[in-house]
Structure 1
């Protein structure tokens, strides 16, 4: 097998990678790469020239493994957006028909080399230089993590609740606060402002820009009616609940953000309930969400609303 590094992929390669990710998801029951990876793969950015014209994203690097016949067997996406702070974040997948042949090992070794960690001690310490996601805590990823001495600095819980036929509580909004739908072309700046204030601590969500938001507005799942904004009497945005509906019909508490200046009045819980009621109203049988495992207050809020832990995404670190 041969591994190559690319700073961009042409359209044929993008199609191959997306097919590989889809095959892995079908086999494992969970997507091997996050939504932002798919968005970057599909984005048409400035064209640069290597051997041939490719789509280039200055925030992404691509590691491709092919067998002797040229078939794509493994892929890793490296997010370099926060490299200036010393952190690289990767997600990888091996095609189900080509597993246990060394592709995963090649990809991890290449990522360690890229992060200047190939000669570092494998004592389970986390230097904060490289993080690799395992969505669904895949057994193959666990084996690679143990072999290469990765720590487990971060866990993301997927929680869910059945809402079909359930009686959900009504949102209890603070006085003067109303909930309305997102208005494309008008509300982006306010949402980004509140999102940044609400998620300043979060390594991914807090970095969302207006460009990122508009990019997601172009996805096939985006629905402004399910993007709920809490505003005061002066139309000042206080918080939001962005919902999402998956192809299987499940609804998702995609993002709930509340301006820190308005926290402590139950607005976050009310927005969560409002979104759950919306998803139930449009026919979603269940609602899921992702929450940091160490965010104990948020976990408790979701548990009181009936959510239970379904599975775990692990970020392995070296």
Structure 2
């Protein structure tokens, strides 16, 4: 499959938001199973509305560089934020349309983002993802790209 990566354009916005919602749905379902519905509703709320807002904000943020992966359509996206003082780059968001997953799109976007971070003179690249089973494919992509995990655990308790 041919994958090209290009700068995000405003006309990509709705395709990117829609694929982001599809891509992250399994992660939110896993989180609900982990937390239980009561705690999940308290912690997460309407994730679709919040996530749609967050993706739109990242796409429009002046401090974020955004690229899209294109196959026969927009298949994924990545946003990168640089901290020049710390000489680090954060892969802030990365999403691949579920029907394009397992075809190299995530690996292409990850490698592309790391190269952009390096080209900007940064000496550290950071990416974050979930530790549940729904995020196992993402963790595999990031570890294959040379990232080393440093687990963080959040604890919640409904009262």
Task: Give TM class, smaller chain.
Answer: 0.7 to 0.9
> 2:60 & 2:77 partners in 1: Cα distance?
19
TM, length-normalised to structure 2:
0.73
Matches within 5 A, 1:258-297: 258-294=96-132, 295-297=135-137
**Which of these two proteins has the greater Rg computed from alpha carbons?**
1
Give the corresponding residue for 1:179.
Answer: 5
Give the corresponding residue for 2:146.
Answer: 306
1:259-309 Cα deviation digits (max 9, x unpaired): 111122121111111111111111111001111122333323322222112
More strand by share: 1
SS across alignment from 2:26: coil
Structure 2 residues without counterparts, runs of 5 or longer: 29-43
- The answer to which structure, 1 or 2, has the higher relative contact order (CA under 8 A, 6+ apart) is 2
Q: After TM superposition, which residue ranges in structure 1, 4 or more long, deviate above 6 angstroms? A: none
Superposed displacement of residue 194, structure 1: 0.8
- How many residue pairs get aligned? The number is 137
More helix by share: 2
SS across alignment from 2:110: helix
Structure 1 residues without counterparts, runs of 5 or longer: 1-173
- What is the alpha-carbon root mean square deviation over aligned residues? 2.4
1:85-107 Cα deviation digits (max 9, x unpaired): xxxxxxxxxxxxxxxxxxxxxxx
Give the corresponding residue for 1:245.
Answer: 82
Give the corresponding residue for 2:93.
Answer: 255
The 1:306/1:259 distance shift into structure 2, 3 A limit, reads: same
SS across alignment from 1:241: strand
Q: Is the 8 A contact 1:228 1:240 kept in 2?
A: yes
Q: Is the 8 A contact 1:188 1:213 kept in 2?
A: no
Quick one: which of 7, 13, 24 aligns to 1:188? Answer: 13
Q: Is the 8 A contact 1:180 1:229 kept in 2?
A: yes
Q: Is the 8 A contact 1:199 1:206 kept in 2?
A: no
